[in-house]
């Protein structure tokens, strides 16, 4: 990983600073009202997909920049990019089996190669006008909808082919071409593929310096996203265009700890911790780590977007598919305490437990069993607890008084991943 790539990752490591609505510009109608964010907050778990020309060298999505490959040389990879086994329907099937509710596909990364029929692409650098001669965005959006998954598109305004990106003030004409491409391509994505549920920007920062908000003078994100909303009024937009987003993002594999975050946010990370794009080097996340990360995120009010990097042929590596299937098996049993819930009423205790609620039920996610006497003491609540059970399982002895709620887990057979307990509340 190069220095600029590390800085890009660090720029997204903002979990500990998620204390406000985020940086960037805002204006009337630029952000969705809370009621239009409810569906997104219900989803909890999605699939991120990084796939493009960089899958061919198989050294990560920053290959062009990190290895200092000239744009003309890198562009030759498009002559080899003709995946014979690509199936968006298979991607969607894997996501569904994993218990995921939405998908976000990288339509164009920082290398500039667009995965759709893009007349706005500078020098026709897209999958329609090169070897594949396919519109992968069309195939993907169709497959998502057929599978009943919400449709998300990732788009990077950044394009390493433009010297003006690195020095927009000194090279204004070249920078203007980059900006023209961005506006044209975002319009194509919003106009030509039906209802888009999520628009996930990345790479708004200029010259790999500063923040996305610092670059708002150049991209004019209020103007850009007003155009976006003219086609998709209710699309949920992340903050990386320089505009305050509808949700905030936290990037990378760092543990999620601390209190509940009181606004919409999303954790994004890699199933293969080595890189976002396909990589010969594999560092697959353990199942327990994935479940812990999901639970810790949801218990603090977030969604988790877990990335896969399909190979040059468009195939998600079999080991990744198997691991996602295992996640789906846990969610098939425990999803009631995840989907369509909200965090609380108890604050999470790092590395121990967290809570969500829905209707007249409170779900306690037990990351590890208590040491010693197998008793958990929850803080007091104004709600009256009428019963406690393991989700889909046996009753749990409990006692409630003014000092809190005591749960006796002596007879509980713990889930080796995360155990879900259910407290039933009197009334709603």
Among 300, 317, 337, the domain boundary falls at 337
Among 316, 337, 358, the domain boundary falls at 337
Mean pLDDT of the chain: 95
Most confident of 105-114, 205-214, 249-258, 371-380: 105-114
170-182 core/surface letters (b: 16 or more CB in 10 A; e: else): ebeebbeebbebb
Residues 363, 295 share a domain: no
CATH number at residue 218: 3.20.20.80
| Residues 264 and 257: beta-carbon distance below 8 Å | no
Residue 186 pLDDT grade (very low, low, confident, very high; cuts 50, 70, 90): very high
Cβ-proximal residues to 77 (8 Å cutoff; 6+ apart), any chain: 53, 56, 57, 113
- Does residue 370 register a pLDDT over 90? no
Compute the distance between CA of residue 390 and CA of residue 420 in angstroms, rounded to an integer. Answer: 6
Residues 331, 400 share a domain: no
Strands (E), 34-137: 45-49, 102-108
Among 305, 337, 369, the domain boundary falls at 337
For residue 209, count CB atoms less than 10 angstroms from its CB and return exposed for 0-12, middle for 13-18, buried for 19 or more.
exposed
Average pLDDT of 10-25? 61
What integer pLDDT is reported at residue 9 of this predicted model? 66
Residues 399, 267 share a domain: no
Average pLDDT of 285-305? 98
As beta bridge partners, residue 25 has: 243
What integer pLDDT is reported at residue 299 of this predicted model? 98
- Does residue 1 register a pLDDT over 90? no
- Does residue 47 register a pLDDT over 90? yes
Residue 21 pLDDT grade (very low, low, confident, very high; cuts 50, 70, 90): low
Average pLDDT of 335-361? 97
CATH number at residue 392: 2.60.40.1180
Residues 175, 32 share a domain: yes
- For residue 228, the Cα-to-chain-centroid distance in whole angstroms is 20
- Does residue 280 register a pLDDT over 90? yes
What integer pLDDT is reported at residue 4 of this predicted model? 77
Average pLDDT of 203-229? 95
As beta bridge partners, residue 236 has: 198
Residues 139, 264 share a domain: yes
Residues 64, 13 share a domain: yes
Residues 186, 311 share a domain: yes
What integer pLDDT is reported at residue 7 of this predicted model? 73
Residue 244 pLDDT grade (very low, low, confident, very high; cuts 50, 70, 90): very high
Residues 219, 310 share a domain: yes
CA distance to 88, 132, 182, 210, 358, per residue, from 135 (Å): 11, 9, 18, 34, 41
What integer pLDDT is reported at residue 11 of this predicted model? 60
Residues 366, 296 share a domain: no
Average pLDDT of 332-345? 98
User: Whose structure tokens read 């104004």?
Assistant: 382
Residues 279, 384 share a domain: no
CA distance to 246, 361, 389, per residue, from 420 (Å): 30, 12, 9
Average pLDDT of 58-65? 97
Average pLDDT of 89-109? 98
Residues 367, 317 share a domain: no
Instruction: Render pLDDT for 162-183 as a digit per residue (tens, 0 to 9).
Output: 999 999 999 999 999 999 999 9
Instruction: Name the domain count of the chain.
Output: 2
Residue 274 pLDDT grade (very low, low, confident, very high; cuts 50, 70, 90): very high
- Does residue 3 register a pLDDT over 70? yes
- Does residue 19 register a pLDDT over 90? no
Compute the distance between CA of residue 352 and CA of residue 1 in angstroms, rounded to an integer. Answer: 33
Name the strand (E) or helix (H) holding 39.
Answer: helix 38-43
Q: What is the pTM of this model?
A: 0.96
Average pLDDT of 65-92? 98
Average pLDDT of 206-222? 95
Residues 306, 166 share a domain: yes
Torsion angle, CA of 34/40/42/46, rounded to 10 degrees?
-160
What integer pLDDT is reported at residue 158 of this predicted model? 96
- Does residue 126 register a pLDDT over 70? yes
Domain range for residue 205? 3-337
User: Whose structure tokens read 């965090």?
Assistant: 343
């Amino acid at each position: 990983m190069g220095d600029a790539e590390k800085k890009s990752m660090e720029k997204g490591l903002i979990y500990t600073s998620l204390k406000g609505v985020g940086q960037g510009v805002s204006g009337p109608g630029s952000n969705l009202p809370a009621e239009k964010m409810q569906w997104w907050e219900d989803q909890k778990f999605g699939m991120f997909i990084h796939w493009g020309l960089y899958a061919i060298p198989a050294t990560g999505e920053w290959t062009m920049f990190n290895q200092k490959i000239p744009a003309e040389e890198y562009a030759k990879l498009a002559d080899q990019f003709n995946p014979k086994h690509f199936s968006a329907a298979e991607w969607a099937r894997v996501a569904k089996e994993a218990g995921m509710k939405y998908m976000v596909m990288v339509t164009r990364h920082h290398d500039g190669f667009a995965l759709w029929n893009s007349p706005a692409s500078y020098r026709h650098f897209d999958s329609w006008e090169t070897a594949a001669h396919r519109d992968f965005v069309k195939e993907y959006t169709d497959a998502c909808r057929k599978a009943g998954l919400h449709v998300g598109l990732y788009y990077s305004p950044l394009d390493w082919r433009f010297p003006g990106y690195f020095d927009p003030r000194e090279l204004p004409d070249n920078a203007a071409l980059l900006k023209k491409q961005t506006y044209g391509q975002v319009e194509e994505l919003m106009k030509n593929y039906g209802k888009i549920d999520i628009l996930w920007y990345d790479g708004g920062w200029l010259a790999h310096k500063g923040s996305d908000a610092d670059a708002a003078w150049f991209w004019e994100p209020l103007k850009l996203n007003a155009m976006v909303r003219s086609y998709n009024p209710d699309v949920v937009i992340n903050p990386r265009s320089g505009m305050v987003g509808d949700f905030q993002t936290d990037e990378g594999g760092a543990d999620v700890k601390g209190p509940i975050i009181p606004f919409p946010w999303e954790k994004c990370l890699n199933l293969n911790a080595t890189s976002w794009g396909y990589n010969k080097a594999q560092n697959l996340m353990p199942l327990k780590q994935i479940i812990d990360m999901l639970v810790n995120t949801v218990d603090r009010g977030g969604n988790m977007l877990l990335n896969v990097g399909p190979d040059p042929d468009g195939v998600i590596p079999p080991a990744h598919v198997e691991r996602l299937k295992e996640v789906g098996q846990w969610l098939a049993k425990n999803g009631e305490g995840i989907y369509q819930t909200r965090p609380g009423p108890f604050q999470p205790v790092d590395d121990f437990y967290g809570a969500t609620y829905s209707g007249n039920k409170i779900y306690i996610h037990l990351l590890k069993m208590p040491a010693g006497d197998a008793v958990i003491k929850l803080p007091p609540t104004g709600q009256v607890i009428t019963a406690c059970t393991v989700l889909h399982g046996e009753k749990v002895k409990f006692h409630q008084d003014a000092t809190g709620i005591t749960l006796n887990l002596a007879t509980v057979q713990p889930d080796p991943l995360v155990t879900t307990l259910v407290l039933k509340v009197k009334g709603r």
